[in-house]
Amino acid sequence: MAGAKPGVHALQLKPVSVHPELQRGGKFIKWDEVRTKMLETCFELGTGQDEADILDISTIRDTRRGKYARSPRDMRLLELMGENSEGKMVSIVHGSDLVNISFLNVVAMTEDEAKIWTEELFTLATNILSQNASRHTFLRKVYTKLKLQMTQDGKIPLKKFIIKQEFNDFGVHEKAFCSLLFALSLQLEGIKQDDFTWEAFQKFLDSLCFRPEIQSIFEECGSKKKPFISMDQLTDFINRRQRDSRLNEVLYPPLKKEQVRQIMEKYEKNTGQLERDQISLQGFSRYLEGEENTIVPPERLDIIDDMNQPLSHYFINSSHNTYLTVGQLTGLSSVEMYRQVLLTGCRCVELDCWKGRLPDEEPYITHGFTMTTEIPFKEVLEAIAESAFKASPYPVILSFENHVDSVKQQAKMAEYCRTIFGDALLIDPLEKYPLAPGYPLPSPHELQGKILIKNKKNHRHRPLSGSIRRREMGEQSSPNMGQLLSNGEEKLAERMVKDLEPRKSIGCGIYPLQGTAGSEVKATEEMSYLVNYIEPVKFKGFEVTSKRRKYFEMSSFVETKGMDILKSDPVDFVEYNKNQLSRIYPKGTRVDSSNFMPQIFWNIGCQMVALNFQTPDLPMQLNMGVFEYNGRSGYILKPEFMRRTDKHFDPFTENIVDGIVANTVVSGQFLSDKKVGVYVEVDLFGLPGDTKRKYRTKTSNGNSLDPVWNDDTFLFNKIVLPTLASLRIAVFEENGKFVGHRILPVSAIRPGYHYINLKNELNQPLLLPSLLVYTEAQDYIPNEHQEYAEALTNPIKHISMLDKRTTQLAVLMENSEVRRFGYFAVCVCVYIQVQTIEDLRQHKDYVKLIKKQKKELKELRAKNLKKVHTQADAFEKLKQTANERYASQLKKLKETCEKEKKELQKILDRKRQNSISEARNREKDRTEVDLNDINRKHIQESVASIRGVSTDCSTHTQHTLSLITSSPQNVHNLLYSTFFCCCHQLFSTPQTISSPLIIHIAILPPLILISLFLWFPTVTLNSSFLYFLPCILAGAGSGQKKGQTNFKTERGAETHRRGTFSTGEQIRTVTHAHSEQSFNNCPSVLLL
Q: What is the pLDDT of residues 523-564, one digit of tens each?
A: 457 888 899 999 999 999 999 999 999 999 999 999 999 999
Q: Is 935 left (phi over 0), alpha (psi -120 to 50) or beta?
A: alpha
Side-chain-facing half-sphere of 724: CA atoms under 13 Å: 29
Q: Give CA–CA dist 509/330, Å, rounded.
A: 29
Q: Yes or no: say if 368 and 484 are a contact pair by the CB < 8 Å rule.
A: no
Question: Does residue 498 carry a pLDDT above 60?
Answer: no
Q: Are 329 and 370 in contact (CB under 8 A)?
A: yes
Tell me the one-letter amino acid at 815: N
**pLDDT of amino acid 503:** 38
Active site residue 320: yes
How far is it, in rounded angstroms, from Cα 1079 to Cα 976? 8
Q: Tell how far CA 600 is from the center of its chain.
A: 14
Most trustworthy range by pLDDT among 314-318, 836-840, 1004-1008? 314-318
Task: Say if CB 681 and CB 599 are below 8 A apart.
Answer: no
| pLDDT per position as a tens digit, 869-890 | 787 888 888 888 888 887 888 8
Q: Is the confidence at residue 593, as pLDDT, over 70?
A: yes
Compute the average pLDDT of residues 985-1010. 50
CB count in 10 Å sphere of residue 648: 12
Predicted confidence at residue 157, as pLDDT, reads: 72
> For the chain, which residues make up each domain, given as ranges?
19-44+51-126, 211-293, 311-480+493-642, 853-1086
Bridge partner residues of 421 (DSSP): none
Q: Which residues contact 1029 (CB under 8 A, 6 or more apart)?
A: 1004, 1005, 1008, 1060, 1061
Q: 254 near 243, Cβ under 8 Å?
A: yes
Per-residue pLDDT band at 970 (split at 50, 70, 90):
low
pLDDT grade for 747, boundaries at 50, 70 and 90: confident
Is 19-44+51-126 a domain of CATH 3.40.1010.20? no
Give the least confident one: 209-223, 373-387, 1002-1016.
1002-1016
Q: Report if pTM > 0.75.
A: no
Asked if 367 is an active-site residue, the reply is yes
The answer on pLDDT for 930 being more than 80 is no
Bridge partners of residue 13, in order along the sequence: none
- Where is average pLDDT lowest: 276-280, 626-630, 834-838? 834-838
pLDDT digits (tens, 9 = 90+) for 408-456: 898 999 999 999 999 999 999 999 999 999 999 999 999 999 999 999 8
Q: Give residue 12's pLDDT band: very low, low, confident or very high (50, 70, 90).
A: confident
- Look at residue 1051 in the predicted model and tell me its pLDDT: 41
Ligand-binding site membership of 673 (annotated): no
How sure is the predictor about 625, in pLDDT bands with cuts at 50, 70 and 90? very high
Whether the Cβ atoms of residue 151 and residue 656 lie closer than 8 Å to each other = no
Confidence class for position 1005, pLDDT limits 50, 70, 90: low
DSSP string, 418-440: HHHHGGGB--SPPTTS-SSTTPP
Question: Quick one: pLDDT at residue 790?
Answer: 65
Q: What is the mean pLDDT of residues 737-756?
A: 92
Instruction: Grade residue 1083 by pLDDT with cuts at 50, 70 and 90.
Output: very low
pLDDT in tens, 359-372: 888 999 999 888 99
Considering the candidates 313, 320, 461, 956, report the single residue annotated as catalytic.
320
Cα atoms in the 13 Å half-sphere on the side-chain side of 1001: 33
pLDDT at 117: 94
Given 3.40.50.2300, 3.20.20.190, 3.20.20.210, 3.30.420.10, which CATH number is that of 311-480+493-642?
3.20.20.190
Topology of 211-293 in CATH?
Answer: Recoverin; domain 1 (1.10.238)
pLDDT tens-digit map of 793-832: 667 777 777 778 777 777 666 554 444 444 433 333 444 4
Q: Give the CA distances from residue 626 to residues 301, 598, 603, 633, 761, in Å, rounded to whole numbers and listed in that order.
A: 11, 10, 13, 11, 13
Q: What is the pLDDT of residue 235?
A: 93
Q: Which long-range contacts (CB under 8 A, 24 or more apart) does 795-799 make?
A: none
Which of 367, 403, 461, 972 is labelled catalytic? 367
CA dist 791 and 778 (Å) reads 15
Q: Is 350 marked as binding a ligand?
A: yes
pLDDT at 40 over 50: no
352 is in an annotated binding site: yes
- In this predicted structure, what is the pLDDT of residue 518? 29
Q: What 8-state DSSP symbol labels residue 166?
A: I
Q: What are the tens digits of pLDDT across the range 54-109?
A: 888 889 999 999 889 988 877 777 777 777 788 889 999 999 889 999 999 999 98
Per residue in 647-657, pLDDT (tens digit) is: 888 888 877 65
What's the gap between Cα 367 and its chain centre? 37
Q: Is the peptide bond before 434 cis (omega within 30 degrees of 0)?
A: no
Q: Reading across the β-sheet that carries 60-65, which strands appear in turn?
A: 28-31, 101-108, 89-95, 60-65
Q: Can you tell me the distance from the alpha carbon of 669 to that of 672, in angstroms, rounded to the nearest whole number?
A: 9
> What whole-number distance in Å separates Cα of residue 115 and Cα of residue 177?
46
